Amino acid sequence: MKRRYFGTDGVRGPFGGPLINPTFARRLGAAAARFAKGTLASPDQAPVIIGRDTRASGLELEFAVAEGIRSQGFQVVSVGAAPTPVVSFAVRHYRAPFGVVITASHNPAADNGIKFFSGSGTKLKDAHEVEIERLLEEIDQTDLASISPALTVIPAVQLYNDSLAGVLPRRALQGWTVAVDCSNGAAVATTPLVLERLGAEVIRVGDQPDGRNINDGVGSQHPEVLADRVTHHRAKLGIAHDGDADRLVLVDEKGSVLDGDELLAIVARRALSKGELRKKTLVATVQSNLGLKVAIEGWGGELVQTSVGDRYVVEAMLEGGYSIGGESSGHLIFMDVSPSGDGLVAALKVIEAMIDSGEPLSELRKCLKRFPQVVRALKVAAKPSLESLPLLKQAVAAGETELKGEGRILLRYSGTEPRIRLLVEGPDMSRTVAVMDALEVVVRNELDVLED
């Protein structure tokens, strides 16, 4: 099911470009509403929920999408500038037919995007997005009468904060110092406030959004800023989000960065020990380090792997009845709390493991013994099918032979950027790098690789 507009996380691109502009947003909103009206809901239900991150273009796009949705007979209310997980929460809390988030996540401020949530608070399936694209072609801009863009703002952020403050016992973080990098994004309204309610002293970073500085030198893409604050203030840990706060990167008390695989290992080990990991199974993607599989199986559990994308992790969790899953990129899902990736929930669950064990993060992370891994991303002018490139397939086979069954090779195109991502894992770093170097040469010969 090839999609023309949707990537792995909604529709995304430069604001003012052919996709992300008010005209297209209005049509996309109408198409999504028409799809919902025909398959998921009826317009006489509760209003559709919409939210946005802190980008300057967010408000204009929010109004445009809302106009399109209203043209199909639905009412729309806004949660304002808020993390993506707040929209998922609000859809479930208010029993909305569906939800919309205006965000480009970790992308620069010049970009923006549109993604949708079902009435159960999960991201839409591929087949649903294919159908929305089909309906989009039926909708002409001239059919969409201009409707007043005024939106009622509902107190979903406060309700979300109230709910998550209950994940840990009252004042559980009394005496803790925690550094939080909000990436000048939507997390400013949630993570620092919830941690303070739990008793922590919060050192804020990236908490002055102005519409143009989201993800600019701060946040989950730049954890070195947070690491400096952690060591300077002797904090117990640092928490970094991306622009819409569905992602988490942690820094331990020594200033070292943890990735999503380490976080998954920490929470899965605790859950297994307490009998809370449903079916003793963790869900991750093919991008996760082989060490995660070895660790989980060593603790008596199993690892199920999916395609890259937190939506595919969620689908596998729902189908299999599993409770915890996530990606190495830092999208973690705790199904007993929320059916979507939530950076704050993930942070609280790791903190819960710290409290239970009495160990600092630098010790807890040692539960994962990583295989040597090399990851590279090359910008490409086009994305021809990798199956259509025989020399590249031969190079992968040669690399796998070199690894002698003690590693793996993964090539895939990014679903949100014009890039091909290369991953090689092996028994030692020198062999892993050698395989990667040889593979990159072939990729550059076979694809039109651009310099960043």
Give the dihedral of Cα atoms 395, 401, 406, 411; nearest 10 deg.
20
DSSP string covering 305-330 = EESSSHHHHHHHHHHHT-SEEE-TTS
- On whether the CB atoms of residues 341 and 234 are closer than 8 A, the answer is no
- 178/229 Cα distance (integer angstroms): 9
Query: What six digits make up the tokens of 39?
Result: 């398959």
Q: Tell me the C-alpha distance between 271 and 277, whole Å.
A: 5
Of 105, 118, 288, 329, which residue is the catalytic one?
105
Tell the burial category of 234 from Cβ atoms under 10 Å away from its Cβ (0-12, 13-18, 19+).
exposed
**Sequence-ordered alpha helix ranges (H) in 36-122:** 58-70, 84-93
Cβ 290 vs Cβ 296: under 8 Å: no
Tell me, what DSSP letter sits at residue 378?
E
One-letter amino acid at 124 equals L
Give the separation between CA 286 and CA 435, rounded to whole angstroms.
19
Instruction: Mention every residue, 6+ apart, whose C-beta is less than 8 A from residue 208.
Output: 184
Beta-strand pair 324-326/373-380: unpaired
Closest CA to 292 of 413, 408, 167: 408
CA distance 100 to 118: 9
What amino acid is encoded at 263 in this protein?
A: L
Burial tier of 79 (Cβ tally within 10 Å: 0-12, 13-18, 19+): buried
Q: Could you tell me which residues come within 8 angstroms of residue 47 by beta carbon, excluding any fewer than 6 positions away?
A: 74, 75, 76, 77, 94, 96
Tokens found for residue 292: 């995660």
Report the distance separating Cα 397 and Cα 401, nearest Å. 6
Count CB atoms within 10 A of the CB of residue 210.
Answer: 11
Q: Which two tokens stand for residue 26?
A: 């209005």
Q: Residue 175's Cα: distance from chain center in Å? A: 30
Report d(CA 251, CA 245) in Å as an integer.
Answer: 16
105 is catalytic: yes
Rounded to whole angstroms, the Cα distance separating 192 from 195 reads 5
Active centre residues (catalytic): 105
